[in-house]
Amino acid sequence: IVSLLKLQPRRLKIDRQLVIPIVKSPQRRQVVSSIIEIGKSLGIEVVAEGVETMEHAQTLKTLGCDILQGHAFGHALD
């Protein structure tokens, strides 16, 4: 958090290892929610990677995530 205050990034990306379990784990969902809230409170755009299903997408949308990336929307290109 101190690094976020010092660096003042425009975007904060949430790693897929945190995102994938959110549909089955309330604890992980709360962690991701907290990250999103911290980003929002600092005016940082929040990106979630590893959005594999529409259930992931809906959950992240509900939590207030700004940008979603993952196979739910399309496969990676070369």
Nearest-Å Rg of the Cα atoms of the chain is 12
Q: Is 55 a catalytic residue?
A: no
Q: Which of 37, 49, 52, 55 is catalytic?
A: 49
Q: What single-letter amino acid sits at 36?
A: I
Q: Tell me the residue length of the chain.
A: 78
Q: Looking at the annotation, which residues are catalytic? A: 49
